[in-house]
Chain A
Amino acid sequence: NAGVTQTPKFRVLKTGQSMTLLCAQDMNHEYMYWYRQDPGMGLRLIHYSVGEGTTAKGEVPDGYNVSRLKKQNFLLGLESAAPSQTSVYFCASKAGGFADTQYFGPGTRLTVL
C-alpha cells in the first residue's frame, strides 16, 4: 500500500515548455487535490476533483490544467511553463466521508528557468 505517490520528484523546465505531473493513489479515494507550496505562503489549492471524470478550480488555477480519467490518477498539466510556476507541488487524496482527512504525497519540486 503505497498511499499517494507523485512523479517526477524533481524537474527543471525552460520557459514555454510543457509538462505533466502525475499523482496516483491506491486507497480508492474519491477526492483528489493539487496544491502548490511557496515560501511563506503555505499550501494553495490549484485544482481538485470530487470523482472520476470531474475537475474543479481551486484558489490559484491559472496556467494549469488537470484531468481525472481514472479514479486512482490525477494529472496536473502546465501547457506553457512560466518562472512564476517554480514551486513545490503536492497532491492529496481523501475518502468520501466528512471525517476523512487528506493524505499528501511527497511532492514534486519544479523549477522553471
Chain B
Amino acid sequence: GQQLNQSPQSMFIQEGEDVSMNCTSSSIFNTWLWYKQDPGEGPVLLIALYKAGELTSNGRLTAQFGITRKDSFLNISASIPSDVGIYFCAGQLFSGGSNYKLTFGKGTLLTVNP
C-alpha cells in the first residue's frame, strides 16, 4: 500500500521561531491535507491542497502541494505556545467510483518553549 514519510518526528523550538515539516510519498496523491491534533482530541484540518504546485496560506501556516504530487510541506511562522501538538500530513487518492481514503503520515510532535 501507499506509505507516507513524515519528517521530522519531533521538534523542540523557542517561541517566535519558524517551523518546517514535510511529507514524501512513494506514489502520487490527488489531495494533500495537513491536520493538527491537540492532546486528548481528534485531528483538526489546517490546510487542504488540491492542485500540484499549489501554495496555500492560513494565517501563520503555509503549505505546498509538490509539483510531482508525491510530497508536501507545512511551514509555521513565528511560533506561539498554542502551536504545540502533533501535526499530521495526509494524502488522498481518488481512485474513481466513490472511494475517498486518506493515508496518514506518522506525525510531527511540536513543542514550543515560551
Contact = CB atoms under 8 A, between A and B. Distances in A.
Interface in B56-109: 88, 94, 98-102, 104-107
Interface in A1-58: 4, 30-31, 33, 40-45, 48, 50-51, 58
Interface of B: 1, 4, 6, 9, 30-31, 33, 35, 40-45, 48, 50, 88, 94, 98-102, 104-107
A101 B45 contact: yes
Contacts, number: 58
Contacts of B102: 33, 43, 45, 102
Contacts of B45: 101-103
Nearest to B105: A42
A31 B100 contact: yes
A64 B94 CA distance: 25
A101 B106 contact: no
B42 A107 contact: yes
Given A99-B48, A107-B41, 11 more contacts: A40-B9, A42-B4, A42-B104, A42-B105, A43-B104, A44-B104, A45-B102, A98-B30, A98-B94, A98-B100, A104-B44
Interface of A: 4, 30-31, 33, 40-45, 48, 50-51, 58-59, 90, 92, 94, 96, 98-99, 101-107
A41 to B, nearest CB: 6
B48 A40 contact: no
Contacts of B9: 40
Contacts of A101: 33, 45, 48
Contacts of B41: 106-107
B106 A50 contact: no
